[in-house]
Structure 1
Amino acid sequence: MLRLHRVEPTADLWAERATFDDRLIFHTEPWLRFVAEAQHAEPVLARVADGDRTVGHFTGLVTRRFGLRILGSPMAGWTTSYVGFLLEPGVSRRAALEALMPFAFKELGCAHLEIRDRALTPADLGGLGLRWSDAPTAVIDLTPPEDQLFGAMASACRRNIRKATKSGVTIEEVVADPTFADDFYDQLRDVFAKQNLVPTYSIERVRTLVRHIEPAGQLLLLRARDSEGRCIATAVLPWYHRTMYFWGGASYRDHQHLRPNEALIWHAMRWARARGVTEFDFVGGNAYKSKYGTTEVPVPWARRSRSPLVATLRDAAKQGFTLKQKAAARLSGVKA
């Protein structure tokens, strides 16, 4: 039987976690610092033990909602994605998830738990008292040659990339530029304004992300400029190990006819592939992403509450947040 034991972060612990093949950027120290600051949350690291042997690790953060302790791995609205477990090959994720229940509700004293683990499947969830919803993501395998990747896109997408080039759109890789967050957020507000909406998070979220992730060398920031040198679109793309993630993108409405968004994604794909990254993850399954030649991967988002009242409170909060996030996703592609 597996058990979870909370541990304190040390240099040796981070080094050990970095040896697991299923590691994601969302398990790393810089990313946890970002989420902890942005959400005023307390990171929780735990070893997954089988007897006396460590067979994996768990990552989460504790926050408070309605005066109750909540363990998120992650929670909706954190602009982060799958967290969950790091496990040795052959270790059952269902068994690890089963061991998480007493750890969350007894040892940590939490009233509610949410988990989204990239390797969990619906078959892992049955019989554990969990409710879950399907939260698929769209991914691109970057291992084929560039011409095959380009050919796998919809013809209209390929035309748009060529149009951007012919129109003089250029892509700039941004490093240590304190004005980038301002450019991104101004464009984000412009896109939302089209529907009389505002972004679902502040510019400080973007600045916090850049401050924590860029120094670790795990963040690609891109600007698209028109033929006159004006910044017309931006993209924020964390990357780590074998995966690049589309955290967010925005563009000015007046310049979308130049197709800078497609040009940004194509540049990011080639940049990542050249550095040995084998997967591009859009962190969401919206239909518009299929034009890039994506494959949909199911990722359940599971939750369990200590009492029906807590579950009701969570669902009420989630419903309000979901309405905002659906609008946000429809407009800009920035993830929940």
Structure 2
Amino acid sequence: MKIVGFHELGPDRWNPLAASSPEAWLTHDAAWVAIEERFFADTNLSFGLIENGDVVGIQPLYLNEGGVFGERLLHSGIHRHTGLAIREGIDRSTIRAVRSAAMKQIFALAELYDVDRIQLNTHNLAPANRSASREEIPFWVRDFGFHLGIAFGPHGMMPCPGLSTVNADQLIDLDPSEDELFANLDDGCRRAVRKALKAGLEFELATDRSALGSYLEIARESAARTGEVLPPADYYEAVLESFFSQGRAHLLFARAQETRLAGLFLLSDKNAVHFMAGVSRPDELNFRPNDFLHWSAMLWAKRAGFQTYRLGPWFPEVPRDWPISKVSYFKTKFGSEARSIIQGSMFRRPEKYIRELPAIRDNLECIGHRAAPASLTAQTGSEFVAHLLRVFGFPQASASSDGTPVVLYRPQGTDVAMAREILAGGRAVAAVLPAVEFAEAFAVVAEARTIGSAQVLRAEMAGAKPWKRLRTLHSYMRFAAPDGVPIVSDDEGRAAWLCLGTAAGGPIMFIGTDLVSDIVRYRQGDPAAAAKRPTEAMWGFAGERPNYLFDGQLSGESLRERPADWWCEALADALARHCGVSRLPMLPNGAVGAIVVTGDDDQAALSCYAQQREALGSTPVTYFLHPLTKHTASTLKQLKSGRKVELGLHPDALEHPDRYADLFAEQAQWFEQLTGEGARTVRNHGFLNDGYWGHATAWNAHNVKGSSNLPGLDGCVLNGSLLPAKLLLDDKLTEHWSVLTAIGDGIVFVHGWDDQQSANCIFELAERIRNDGVPGVIVVNLHPENIAKTQGMHHAVRKLVEDGFIPWTMSECFEWFERRPGQSGSTVRKRFALPWS
């Protein structure tokens, strides 16, 4: 079999095979190969294969140097894919011979030019790839050792041996009716098309090559906005010169009267249309010309008899904020089907790419990764559940074998021996999401129940208590055992939690819901929501607030419920009721609730502090001092005289949220100079937020003990809990506590409430806590500056204290729940000098 170079073969012999081969498309055409040679390739190494004087195969092939990692690359088209095209109708043995000869030539050229990598591919619009005979595994992978697929980073190809990223070509089958095609558009796309039609946009198919001037004008306007580097105008002119008159290159426009708002550059061949490029005027995007133009182009293609409309690749695996995803995601909204792009590499110098692994490690960790509590280590998950149990009255709860109960998160078969040893000592074990082999060791059968949305379960022993309704946000396991006692059941009556007595001695609870993921999601919000931060003001004030992190799990639910607390109470009740583990009162002396009064300084006049002191009497207060406070060291000393006052920091970064860490460090130093002590508690000015607890990094770096930076405003239990707990961040249980600010005096201004209405808000939350039967901590934020309009709220606070709610400062609240283990009641009272002693 003879190898003949592209130029030696000539278009007259090259093009007939390109036109007839089912493995070829327009990018195989000799004119296109010439365009690649002129504009993109350093060297054109394309060749044909001759057998008995006949052309039996053609292989476009190019050499480029200095690309990714400075590589020397031999390839069959980047983006404009080709591949080996073989004459139709030849026998299988000749096909094998053509393929073998082509690969021998490719390897010889690779050796000759000393390339670092060879990249081969096929074109998805070639008839063979649109048919049932499509070869998903190309011969050069099956027979010649290539690696299928290519790895991509945020900005494009990032090849490395053994790594690949799904590159999903978006193809639209034009066979369905126009009504069906429109129904297949996603909702937003349909709305955009309707909006464009209502605005009077019109579709135009250019009949003259001179329309390229309009296209390039729009392209330059678009590039000025996006920073995109455009191919030279000569490139577009060359494409039109070669293919426009043949009806294989097309210019289409969206037009408002005589003004062209957007343009499409399409290629067509063999009953298929390919979106090559598109542009739109930045100032006209509100008319949605891009959606309109692609929809109109689809209709034009269908009516012209084309079968397939190709939008091009999208990368479904990579993070949505990567540039390659941002610029390609729009291709998925036109009702397309995804077809993988067949491409792959042979690495002649793998070490050249492996050396780059440290530089691309962060990118690799983003692909196929979901930042979720499921990535927790077993130890961290166990520690978190044990921590919550300590809050709920089990001071000896532990993730280690010396506690009671002992919490095991995702225990495996290797943990069975340890569990049996704990049970042999008569102590209880809580096994959260046990592995199948762990459950089988105790004769418990486990099965998965997957859910697509939140699922409501029921606590069997809750009676009429509100914590009977338990709502999981995640799929769960169900258990069955001959002597097992159902603790939590689903809508089919199957046990999601099961308690089992054992011959070894102590009881074991099998917990099939992901307590860690559920409670973290409720208490701390959804990390995925941080990628879609709101831009509009909330309550009339600018600045990002954390509320949007919680909207997803609260949608359709009562904002007065405490789903995070209900899960903890169900577990605590089961341990006490079925496992015989002693439970202590959650609050001192078995109090039904506690109240923490805070006051954001916000540069209030000192006379307002005096008025507030009178309104609150001896009730403890935590004041968060603003960096521009009017207080001095001497006025603070006077403020604290004769009653319990805690001072915390009210950091202000509203005008420069991007400088929060630096501003916090400066303001923390200022606070220490003013007060003589480091800040133990914090609330951001304006409840400023930074994605998913981004500010916690600064808080932890400065040893801030706790925060109350989640706003409930009017008693909304934003985080599903009226109790404090530590933050679980980056697979680590931190030492930082968080508690909801359940009520703020903003209700007077946001809702326009009077003294009675605002006081009732406090009373109603207290009554809910009493009725719940689960203690809660009400944090009420009362700005000194607002004292004249919030007398009713101050009086309500004093009334709750008279009625038995424990009055605490913020630090006292956190200290109680952290330090209670091992301390008697009298020791605690002495330690905190609490008002109820």
Is this contact kept in 2: 1:304–1:311, CA < 8 A? no
One-letter amino acid of the counterpart of residue 259, structure 1: R
> For 2:210, what is the secondary structure of its paired residue?
coil
SS class of match (2:21): coil
Matched with 1:5 is 3
Equivalent in the alignment of 2:686: none
Partner residue of 1:114 out of 94, 119, 133 = 119
Partner of 2:364: none
- What is the DSSP-based 3-state SS (H/G/I as helix, E as strand, rest coil) of the residue aligned with 2:80? coil
AA in 2 matched with 1:166: K
Number of equivalenced pairs: 306
TM-superposed deviation, 1:99: 4.7
Is the CA contact 2:47–2:60 (under 8 Å) kept in the aligned structure 1?
yes
**Structure holding more strand per residue:** 1
Report Cα offsets for 1:216-247 as digits up to 9, x if no partner.
320110121113x2111000000011210000
Q: Which amino acid aligns with 1:190?
A: E
Check conservation: 2:19, 2:25, Cα contact below 8 A. Answer: no
Aligned pairs for 1:54-65 (under 5 A) are 56-65=56-65
Decide whether aligned partners of structure 1 residues 208 and 17 sit closer, same or farther in structure 2, where only a CA change above 3 A counts: closer
1:56, 1:85 within 8 Å by CA — same for their partners in 2? no
Match for residue 503 of structure 2?
none
**Cα distance in 2, alignment partners of residues 203 and 312 from structure 1:** 38
Q: 1:100 and 1:203, CA in 2 relative to 1: closer, same or farther beyond 3 A?
A: same
Matched, 1:191 2:193: no
Partner of 1:101: 103
**2:331 aligned with 1:289:** yes
- Partner of residue 556, structure 2: none
Deviation at 1:95, TM superposition (A): 8.2
Using the TM superposition, give the Cα deviation of residue 136 of structure 1 relative to its aligned residue in structure 2, in angstroms.
2.1
Q: After TM superposition, give the deviation of residue 12 of structure 1 in Å.
A: 4.1
Instruction: Select the residue among 163, 169, 174 that pairs with 1:137.
Output: 169
* 1:97 to 1:183, Cα distance in 2 relative to 1, 3 A: farther
Q: Residues 270-289 of structure 1: matches in 2 within 5 Å?
A: 270-285=299-314, 286-289=328-331
Q: What is the CA deviation profile of residues 308-329 of structure 1, one whole-angstrom value per residue up to 9, with x for unaligned ones?
A: 467679x89xx9xxxxxxxxxx
Cα 1:305–1:46 shift into 2, 3 Å: farther
Please give the alpha-carbon distance, in whole angstroms, between the structure 2 residues aligned to 1:312 and 1:185: 41
Greater shift, 271-280 or 154-163, is seen at: 154-163
Equivalent positions of 1:84-233 (< 5 A) are 84-87=83-86, 88=88, 99-106=101-108, 109-110=112-113, 111=115, 112-118=117-123, 119=129, 121-122=136-137, 124=139, 125-126=141-142, 128-131=144-147, 132-133=149-150, 134-180=166-212, 182-195=213-226, 197-227=227-257, 229-233=258-262
Structure showing greater radius of gyration is 2
- Per the TM alignment, residue 19 of structure 1 is displaced from its structure 2 partner at its CA by 1.9
AA paired with 1:146? E
Q: TM-score, normalised by structure 1?
A: 0.77
Letter in 2 for 1:101: M
Runs (5+) with no aligned partner, structure 2: 124-128, 130-134, 151-165, 315-327, 361-837
- 8 Å contact from structure 1 (residues 137, 281) kept in 2: yes
Q: Within 1, Cα distance between the matches of 2:44 and 2:242?
A: 16
* Corresponding residue of 1:323: none
- Structure 1 gaps, min length 5: 320-336
Deviation at 1:68, TM superposition (A): 9.1
Equivalent residues in 2 for 1:292-331 (5 A)? 292-308=334-350
Q: TM-score, normalised by structure 2?
A: 0.33
Pair 1:287–1:179, CA change in 2 (3 A)? closer
Which string of whole-angstrom CA distances, capped at 9 and with x for unpartnered residues, describes residues 167-207 of structure 1?
11112211333352x43334334334434x23253333323
Superposed CA RMSD: 3.4
Structure 1 pair 71/123, CA: closer, same or farther in 2 (3 Å)?
Answer: closer
Find the residue that maps to 1:215 and give its secondary structure. Answer: coil
Offset of 1:10 from its aligned partner? Answer: 4.4
Q: Secondary structure at the match of 2:84?
A: strand
Partner letter of residue 44 of structure 1?
Answer: S
- 1:144: how far off? 1.6
How far apart in 2 are the matches of 1:5 and 1:204? Answer: 32
**Partners in 1 of 2:109 and 2:278 — Cα distance?**
40
Instruction: Show the counterpart of 1:71.
Output: 74
Aligned to 1:330: none
Higher relative contact order (CA 8 A, sep 6+): 1
